[in-house]
Structure 1
Amino acid sequence: MKTWQDSRLTAFIVTLGLAVIGALAIGQIYDHLDQRLLQFLASAAVILIISLLAGWLTARPAKPGLRPKEVAVEHEPVRETGKVKWFNVDKGFGFIIRDNGEDLFVHFRAINDGGASRLNEGQKVEYQIGQGRKGPQAEEVVILD
């Protein structure tokens, strides 16, 4: 796997090689053209082409994509069950005790049960786990009893 330094070294070597080729091309232009304006225009064109080519050859994508073997396969979200530990209606949030015993944050907006915006202590619920600002949280919560 190439490191950041390796890719920078490669870019430098490619750019240096193109600069040498450009210098040789400009030398040939000066040998074969007599008019100063034509020499200038031809030299500018060579420099522009070399610059564009160097940029294109050494460019890296802004966000590296996934390699084919790393492409994620989308699966149906895993749903879990648990019981409501407590839920504060005034604040709109509470906690669910997962079947493995861990507490899981739940917000009233995650309740998808016919417009319900509250949970009662001890209710059995089904949910999937999502990532909130402060860590894992219940999403797509459905009341089972």
Structure 2
Amino acid sequence: MKRIGKVKWFNETKEYRFIEQTGDRDVFVQYSPIRMEGYRTPGEGQEVEFEALATPKGLQVSEVCFR
């Protein structure tokens, strides 16, 4: 199921981010599932569309597209 959120925070050095969802928990994002041309570093507050999977550590993004 596709979800909509905004980039809450990211770490360029370690290449991970968190997406903030309205009315739900934040979601962890690694670098690899990001679908974006060129350098894949979003700005904080940038809106995204994503799919998340339940893992033992919480929700983790399996694919994300920046809008």
- TM tier relative to shorter chain: 0.7 to 0.9
1:12-60 Cα shifts (integer Å, max 9, x gaps): xxxxxxxxxxxxxxxxxxxxxxxxxxxxxxxxxxxxxxxxxxxxxxxxx
Kindly indicate whether residue 12 of structure 2 is the aligned counterpart of residue 89 of structure 1.
Answer: yes
Equivalence map 1:1-145=2 (5 Å): 78-132=1-55, 134-144=57-67
Deviation, structure 1 residue 130: 1.6
Distance in 1 of aligned mates of 2:62 and 2:23: 17
Q: Which structure's residues are more often strand, by fraction?
A: 2
For these two proteins, the number of residue pairs brought into alignment is: 67
SS in 1 for 2:35: coil
1:118, CA displacement in angstroms?
1.8
1:102 to partner: Cα distance: 1.8
In 1, Cα distance between equivalents of 2:24 and 2:58 = 17
Structure 2 segments unaligned to the other structure (5+ residues): none
* Higher share of residues assigned helix: 1
Q: How far did 1:134 drift?
A: 2.5
Moved over 6 A (4+): none
Letter in 1 for 2:62: E
Provide the aligned C-alpha RMSD in A. 1.7
Q: TM-score, normalised by structure 2?
A: 0.84
Report the Cα distance in structure 1 between the residues aligned to 2:37 and 2:55, rounded to whole angstroms. 23
Of the two, which has the highest radius of gyration? 1
Distance 1:83 1:91, change over 3 A: same
Give CA-to-partner distance per residue, 1:72-129, whole Å, 9 cap, x none: xxxxxx1000000011111100110012242110111110122443221000000001
Q: In structure 1, list runs of 5 or more residues that go unmatched.
A: 1-77
> Does the aligned pair in 2 maintain the 1:111–1:118 contact within 8 Å?
no
